[in-house]
């Protein structure tokens, strides 16, 4: 099992596309976790914090949906159409995966693989180890790093009006840390792909 210099570059150096994907993914995670806090901090001491105004919006929305049967039915149809589309997409993806796997097995079965049993076993063991590394990194991410980095974001947002420099440093630290975390996933997945 000999890897070339190009293989190492492919695994360790991200392409521009991969960098953009990681940045967008981290930004989406940031917005999902912190959108409510950002909204609360930006609208603090404004007209949007008035409870009477908030109740007014809620009652207006309730009155529109409860009085108009067409809008009520249309919202249900759109919701269930979305659920059906997601279910169809998942089922189609599973079907496509198994169909491609079957085709790949048929094609690879027609060719004779010249690799020795030792090389095959070594590749399989390394791939299993990398898969275990992905699982371990996923558990570590969910239990340690993701809460820590989102905590940095929260602390940075809460510090915003008083200490801008520390706020920016904490938010940037959370972004950089989560980017590195996603980069490690990318490296492990690329190693598995190269060893196939």
Q: How far is residue 183 CA from its own chain's centroid?
A: 12
Q: What is the pLDDT of residues 92-138, one digit of tens each?
A: 877 777 777 677 666 655 554 555 677 777 777 888 888 888 889 88
pLDDT band at 1 (very low <50, low <70, confident <90, very high): low
36 is written with which tokens? 């409510």
Q: Which position has the higher pLDDT, 72 or 154?
A: 154
Nearby residues of 45 by Cβ (< 8 Å), 6 or more positions away: none
Domain residue ranges in the chain = 7-36+113-196, 54-112
Burial of 160 per CB tally in 10 Å (0-12, 13-18, 19+)? middle
Q: Which position has the higher pLDDT, 104 or 151?
A: 151
pLDDT at 50: 58
Q: Are 53 and 47 in contact (CB under 8 A)?
A: yes
- Continuous H helices in 68-163: 69-110, 117-140, 146-159
Residue % of the chain over a pLDDT of 90? 2
Q: Are 170 and 148 in contact (CB under 8 A)?
A: no
Angstrom distances, CA of residue 127 to CA of 9, 124, 131, 187, 193: 19, 5, 6, 13, 9
pLDDT at 45: 63
- Separation CA 44–CA 161 (nearest Å): 11
- Separation CA 149–CA 141 (nearest Å): 10
pLDDT band at 194 (very low <50, low <70, confident <90, very high): confident
Please report which helix (H) or strand (E) contains residue 27, including its range.
Answer: helix 16-42
């Amino acid at each position: 099992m000999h890897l070339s210099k190009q293989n190492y570059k492919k695994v360790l150096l991200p392409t521009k596309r991969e960098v953009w994907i990681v940045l967008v993914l981290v930004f989406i995670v940031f917005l999902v976790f912190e959108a409510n806090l950002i909204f609360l901090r930006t609208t603090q001491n404004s007209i949007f914090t008035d409870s009477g105004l908030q109740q007014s919006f809620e009652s207006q929305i309730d009155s529109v949906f409860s009085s108009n049967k067409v809008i009520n039915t249309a919202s249900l149809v759109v919701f269930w159409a979305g659920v059906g589309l997601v279910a169809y997409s998942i089922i189609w993806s599973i079907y496509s995966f198994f169909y491609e796997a079957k085709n790949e097995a048929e094609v690879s079965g027609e060719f004779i693989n010249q690799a020795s049993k030792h090389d095959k076993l070594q590749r399989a063991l390394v791939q299993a180890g990398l898969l275990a590394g992905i699982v371990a990194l996923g558990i570590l991410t969910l239990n340690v790093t993701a809460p820590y980095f989102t905590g940095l974001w929260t602390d940075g947002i809460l510090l915003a009006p008083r200490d801008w420099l520390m706020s920016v440093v904490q938010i940037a630290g959370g972004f950089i840390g989560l980017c590195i975390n996603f980069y490690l996933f990318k490296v492990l997945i690329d190693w598995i792909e190269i060893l196939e």
